[in-house]
Structure 1
Amino acid sequence: MVQQEHSLSYLLELFGMITSQPLPTANGDIDPSNNLQLKPHLGQILRSRRVRVLGTAFFLATLLIYIFYDPSVGFNFEYSAVNTVHASESEFTGSKCAESSVDWSRFAYTQYVTNTEYLCNSVMLFEILHRLESKADRLMMYPASMHPDSTSPSKESQLLLKAKKEFNVKLMPIEVQHRVQGDHENPATWADSYTKLLAFNQTQYDRVLSLDSDSTVLQHMDELFLLPPAPVAIPRAYWLDKPYLSSQLVLIQPSAEEFKRVKDSIDGAVSGDFDMEIVNNLYGKDCMIIPHRRYDLLTGEFRSKGKHETYLGNTYEEWDPEKVFKEAKFLHFSDWPVPKPWISTPENTRNDNQPKCEIAAQGKEDCRARDLWLGFYADFQKRRKDICGFAPQGHKPRGIENIERGPPRGAFVPQL
C-alpha cells in the first residue's frame, strides 16, 4: 500500500511539473514569455515535446495503477454463489449448488414386491428412474421365494436380474408380510401391503422414498430426500372428504425405534387396518406434509367433471389438464371401476368411464383430458410388454372379485 501511494504521488508531481511549462515556440524552443502567447494550432501541439511527455506519463500512470491496485483496500465484498441459495430452494427444489455436495448413497427409492405382476410393475418403475438419471439408490424388496438365478428360465429370475444389471437396482430378499383377517373380505393385495412398511427397517439408509408400483414416475423426485428431518413426510389424500394421509408415496427416515412402532401396529391391527390405516394412526398428527400437487396426482382426476379445487388447492385456478400433467412428478392409477392398467379392460367399461370431451370457448371441442388419460394406460401397457414381455391380463387376479362389489378403500370416485 505504501509503495502504491508513493508511485501515485510521484506521478502526480511529474504531471504538475510538466503542465506548468510554457508552450514551445515555432522552432520548438521553450520561451518563458510564451506563457501568455496565443493558442498554437493543432499541428504544433501534436509535435510538441510536452504532449509526448504527457502521453508517456499517462501510460505509465495507468500501468502502475493496474499493477499495484488492490481491490480489497477500498471495496471489501465477497460473493459466494453457495451462500446466496436459500434453504427452502436448495433443500426442496434440488438446486445445483446444494445437490453437488450430497452423498446420494445415503438415500434410496424403494419398492416392495409380493408376486410376479407387481415385480414387473416395480421393474418398470425403476426403469423410469434409471432413464431419468435419478441420483439416489434403488432398492427392491422381493419375496425370498424368488431367485435371481441366471440359469433359471423363470420370469421372476429374469426380471430380478434385469433390474439389477440394467437399472442398477439393489435386491433385498424379504418375507412377505401377509396377514389374513377374520372377515375374509379383504383383498389379498391389501393384506400383503404390510410388506411396504418394511421400508422403516432399511436403516442402511438415512432416508427412503417408498412408491406404490401401480403408478408411473413422470419426473425424478430426488429433491424430496433433501427435505428437513422428519420421521415421515407424506402427502394428504386430497380426494377424500376426511383429513387423511396417502400411503402411495412416503418419505421415511428408517430407524429401529420407528420400525418397532410399525411392527407393533401390524401385530395389533384390527379388521380393515392395512398400510394406509397404520401410517395414519401413527403419523396422522405428527408428520411433514408433502404437497399432493405434483407428488400424488391420480389418473381419476382427469375423469372428474368437478372443479378440481381439492387437487389445485384453490378456487380461482382454471383446470388445465395439460398443465397439470406437465408439472406432475408422480401419477397413481386409480379409476374405479376401471381396473389397474395391467388388467384388460372391456371396451364398454373403458368407453363408459373415460374422460368426456368438453365444449371450450367459441364452441371448440376440448378432448385433452380424454387423450391424456387414454395415453396413460396405453403407455403403461406398451412399457409392460417392452420391459417384461407381459401382455395385459385377461383374467381377474386374486381378490379382484371383492373389489368389484364397490369402490375399494380410499378410492377416488370422480364426479362424472
Structure 2
Amino acid sequence: MSPRIVRAFFMVVSALLGFATLLQLPSPSTFHNDPSQQVDWSRFAYTQYATDRSYLCNSLMIFESLHRLGSKADRVLVYPSRFLMSETDRSPEARLLRYARDQYAVKLKPTEVILKGGGGAPWSKSYTKLLAFNHTEYDRILNLDSDATLLQTMDELFLLPPAPVAMPLAYWLDPKDRVFTSGLMLIQPSPAEFSRVMDEINDTPSDVYDMEIMNKFYGDSALVVPHRPYLLLTGEFRSQNHQAYLGDTGESWDAEKILETTKYLHFSDWPLPKPWVPATQHVIEQTQPACEFDPATGQQDCHVRELWLGIYEDFMIRRQGICGTALQDEDESS
C-alpha cells in the first residue's frame, strides 16, 4: 500500500469519524446531574500558544481541524505581540494571524512570551501555555500542543466533572510514577491558580519543563483524561510492545483500528525531527517502523510502515495547503 493510498485512507477516516463524533457527542446529562441543563459553549475554549512562525502555522492547522470538524467551543490563539503590530502589517506572522481570525473565527490575544534561561531550547517557550490559568473569561480551557494532528473534536471534555486540571497520564512512561503529560490540558482558569503557577515559574530553574510544574502542583489531584482515545504518540507505531498503550485489556495491537478511534495524534519519533523540519533519508529509514514477515503470504508486511509514512505525508500536505493558502490569499487580495 503506497503512502498516497494511505493518506487517502487517513483523511477519509478522519472526516467520517469526526462527523460521527459530532453526531454522538455526549449530552450535558452525561456529566451533569441536571439533564435539562443547556450547554453554553461560549464558556469554553480551545487555546493555542504560538511563539514562532513554525508553531503559528501548526496552530493554524489545529484551528482548521476544529473548524472543519464542527467544534462548538471558542478558539483562542495567544501569540507574541510583535507578530501583529497593525492591520496593515504584511509580515508572514501577521497574515497567518488574520487568516486564523477571519477564516476560523479565532480570537487573537497578544502577549509577552515567557522565557527561561537563554530561551534557546524549544521547550523554554512552553511556559507560555500556562497563561491558560489567566483566561478567566472562560470556565474551562483546553490547551493542545500544536505539534500534532487533531483527528476528532474533544468538545465533550469541557463537560467533565469540575477539577482545576485534567490531563492524560503519560502512558509511555513507567505507570508506577504516575506522570501526567501537559500536551493536552483541560484547565479551570483561576486568579489564585494563575498566581501560584507564575510564582513557581519565576522560582524554577531554567532546566525544568512545564510538564514538571504541572505534575508538581496537580500530580495528586488532576482528573485523569483517558489516553485512549484522546492521545496517541506516533512513536507507538514503531514500538514492538504496545502493552503500555493497550493496558490490561487482552486486546491485540491493530494499527488501523487504533488510528481510527484516536482523537489526537502527537508527533514523537526521536531522533526523527518534527514533521515540518527536513530529515535526511538515512534518519527516516533508520526511524520508520520495521516490516514484519507474514507467514501466511511468505512476504514482508509493511502496512504499519506505510501508515506511519502516510501520517507524516498527510501533515506536510495539509501544512502547505493551509498555511500556503493563508499567505497566498493575502497576496492576491492586496
Code of the residue aligned with 2:162 in structure 1: it is: P
- Kept in 1: contact 2:29–2:36 (CA 8 A): no
Code of the residue aligned with 1:333 in structure 2: it is: F
Relative distance call for 1:92 and 1:167 in structure 2 (3 A) is farther
Q: Does 1:380 align with 2:303?
A: no
Q: Which 5+ residue runs of structure 1 have no aligned equivalent?
A: 1-88, 391-416
- CA shift, 1:179, in A, is 1.2
- CA shift, 1:200, in A, is 0.7
Code of the residue aligned with 2:88 in structure 1: it is: T
For 1:259 and 1:94, the matched residues in 2 are separated by 26
Q: Does 1:200 align with 2:137?
A: no
State how 1:9-408 maps to structure 2 within 5 Å: 90-91=27-28, 101-147=38-84, 149-180=86-117, 187-241=120-174, 242-306=177-241, 308-314=242-248, 316-360=250-294, 362-363=296-297, 365-389=300-324
Structure with more relative contact order (C-alpha pairs < 8 Å, separation 6 or more)? 2
Relative distance call for 1:243 and 1:258 in structure 2 (3 A) is same
- CA shift, 1:271, in A, is 4.2
Code of the residue aligned with 2:55 in structure 1: it is: Y
Q: Which has the larger radius of gyration?
A: 1
- Kept in 2: contact 1:148–1:158 (CA 8 A): no
Relative distance call for 1:150 and 1:345 in structure 2 (3 A) is same
- CA shift, 1:127, in A, is 0.5
- Kept in 2: contact 1:218–1:328 (CA 8 A): yes
For 1:133 and 1:314, the matched residues in 2 are separated by 34
Q: How many residue pairs were aligned?
A: 297
- CA shift, 1:374, in A, is 0.7
Code of the residue aligned with 1:224 in structure 2: it is: L
- CA shift, 1:270, in A, is 2.3
Normalized against structure 2, the TM-score is what?
A: 0.84
Residues 104-140 of structure 1: CA deviation (Å, up to 9, x unaligned): 0000000001111111110111001000010000000
- Kept in 1: contact 2:76–2:107 (CA 8 A): yes
What is residue 396 of structure 1 aligned with on the other side?
none
SS at match of 2:127: helix
How well do the aligned residues superpose, as a CA RMSD in angstroms?
A: 2.3
Moved over 6 A (4+): 92-95, 97-100
Code of the residue aligned with 1:225 in structure 2: it is: F
For 1:93 and 1:384, the matched residues in 2 are separated by 36
- CA shift, 1:365, in A, is 4.1
- CA shift, 1:243, in A, is 2.2
Relative distance call for 1:99 and 1:277 in structure 2 (3 A) is farther
For 1:365 and 1:168, the matched residues in 2 are separated by 47
- CA shift, 1:149, in A, is 4.0
Residues 279-309 of structure 1: CA deviation (Å, up to 9, x unaligned): 0000001110000121110000001112x01
Code of the residue aligned with 2:152 in structure 1: it is: Q
Q: Which 5+ residue runs of structure 2 have no aligned equivalent?
A: 1-25, 326-334
- Kept in 2: contact 1:94–1:223 (CA 8 A): no
For 2:300 and 2:228, the matched residues in 1 are separated by 27
Code of the residue aligned with 1:327 in structure 2: it is: T
SS at match of 1:139: strand
Normalized against structure 1, the TM-score is what?
A: 0.68
For 2:307 and 2:31, the matched residues in 1 are separated by 28
Relative distance call for 1:93 and 1:367 in structure 2 (3 A) is farther
For 1:270 and 1:133, the matched residues in 2 are separated by 41
- CA shift, 1:150, in A, is 4.1
For 2:74 and 2:234, the matched residues in 1 are separated by 27
- Kept in 2: contact 1:163–1:169 (CA 8 A): yes
SS at match of 1:389: helix
For 2:215 and 2:203, the matched residues in 1 are separated by 15
